[in-house]
Structure 1
Amino acid sequence: MVPESHGNAPPVSLPAGYLPPYGTRLTVDSFAQQGSDTWAADGLDARGSPARYELTVTAPGRAMCRVNGEPTRYRNIYSHQTGGLESSLLAWFDWILATDAAGRLLLAADDYGGETVAAQLFRAEHHLVRHDSQERCLTDFTTLPELQGWLDEALAPTPLRTRVVAFEAIGKEPALLCDLLGPVRENPTGPLTPEAGLRYLPMPFGTAESVGFVRGELGDRFRSMTRVGFDGSTPSWVHAVSFVPTSELAHFGVETRTTADGESWWAILLDGVDVCLVIPRGTDERDWPMNISAGYDQDGQEATIGIRPTQVSERENRLQDHFQRRWGRWLDAAVVLDDEELAAGLKSVEAMLDKEFGGRHG
């Protein structure tokens, strides 16, 4: 770790080889000292609006952050887990740069991702579609209405509507999760049956005890996911894994409620299709946290909801972010790489191939 404090810049130590989030214009030197222990910089928030970031050092290597004067809880950019008001100075610094980069990316996308006539013509000419995805750690939601509000906002550009409930399996027979072998295109709004590709998994759900069983059997491989395609406002196909057909809830003896206690599994009922997504919660929740993602593609004519273990999200998001930091300029259509940068990049790729495969061949 090498201190990267220059003049009146904050005393943040950046790891050797640190790469900033691609797209940000902020650096350590963007922060101006405001007092004996506070530094401030002007950037953008994740929505592209102006934001003033203030870092206050609380102890060596530790800090708190205010955004536009308001204290902010630290949210890990990979796991999306929300922590306390205090975190490491390096974590806050990287979070600010990542947030600024996200805001700038959003503004840049307005040229082709917005709803102006020019943006729509640009997309049509270049065969582009609008798409977006959001992700949160489910431990951030303590009530069903909190999750419902987030889902409503994330899926607003699509025809898909949902209802968040809590449930518990109270039947004598075990309630089982299901998979679809593939997308259902014939009668996608009807009941999902074995004839349509439905298969039952030996995975119970609904009770606190079943959380531990499912975790032990699937662990990091657990996924509860659905994707729905639309023709206008009518579902044209549906696919789902680790879910329960809504039409099967009564058969399984599942009771749904609009309030939840600490032992309840949560569920997302989808309007118009026979899909109920399940969210393991209960005794193992703190040891096996889940993330939820929701988004759309094809200009809102395709909606997706996914649930997976937080540690899986953190690992995959970290890899994707590292790639974007390293190769963002190469992927940016607005950037023209010079010969020197091209040569350096190719040399770096060759070195990675040599390390991975023990030397180039041919």
Structure 2
Amino acid sequence: MDPKRDSGLNEDTRSWQSFHPLTHNHEAKKEEGITKKRGGKPGAVLYKQLVSSVRDTPRVCTSHGTDAPLGPLIIIMKKIITVFGSTEKIISSPLSTIPTTNPPTLGAQGGSVAKALLEDGTFAVRAVTRDTSKPAALKLKEAGAEVVAADLDDKRSLEAALTGAYGAFVVTTHGWEDSSKEKEIIQGKAVADLAKSLGLKHVIFSGLENVKKLTGGKLEVHHFDGKGEVEEYFRAVGVPTTSVRLPYYYENLLTIFKKHTSKDGKVYDLRLPVGDVLLDGMSVEDLGHVVVSILKSPSEYIGKDIGLSAEKLKVEQYAEIMSKVTGKTIKDAKISPEDYEKHGGAKTLANMFRFYMMRPVRDVELTLKLNPKAKKFRHWLEENKEAFKDL
């Protein structure tokens, strides 16, 4: 093999080289299902996501006296991205009186990221789940992901899930119980410490603002504040990190912020207490390709906090679009955060809306640069209008 011809593999690229014996007609044998096992630990699965290229170098086949292709098979393994939250659901909603049959989930974020990475093909995907037998996990495996069992509360399994990875998409859990914020911080710091010790080159963290810190303690939004502290910790320990901050999910309209029927039963009230402030929105399904774009341009995005938004609309505009698409009469209930809280809304969510009214940075232009196909609300609603037929 000519080392000059076969150099050009950078230090981030792993390769194996092997020579193929010739068949009688001088054709190189083809190998399928090339595998490499990893010691029997979690994550020790078959590497199906290999990019291979054969460089045929003419050599003399002495047994036949002719030139024949006897070049090295160079197998280049893609950089691995460990994706957390690929299938798990958030434990529960803080609004016990509101149906939550299909709540927004960690699986929605991680699943979106894993799917987009597989579609793009630049990176290998290691999808992390607590239960590898779940249908969602099996589907990811069928699509070409390496699916491994790990738990954010189990350091040994986390280390196995991150070992050998180039980068990771990390989303921590928030279960709404009183201790959840502290638990989320512990989980996030454990991942950050491992990412640092294992030398990961790029972590994308699903973060949010530390509202308590930003407002000098005037507002506490537990599911924001915990993620905000973890964001800060990743940077403090020196992990190359990009934080993506999602806005209000369109999917929330199907669950915890479902429409309320007016007293006469003919009109549906959309109860989003932000006044006339423009509320940023986005489908969680569109997060995946945002993450792919960030991973492909690390020098541009490492160290940045990216506030995402596909569109900015007033609640009145959300209601108007919903009326037109669903054929039902839906109106802005025009309630304040105070009214929302008085009528049974969780204080932490009332504070979230108060924070939204402060207009945190969410960048539509950058979001559409990262994912040009991110859906506007009307487009998303038209795709999902069947879900609203039984309002």
TM-score (norm 1): 0.21
Relative to its length, the structure with more strand (as a share) is 1
Whose relative contact order is higher, 1 or 2, with alpha carbons under 8 Å and at least 6 apart?
1
TM-score (norm 2): 0.19
- Decide which structure has the larger Cα Rg and report it: 2
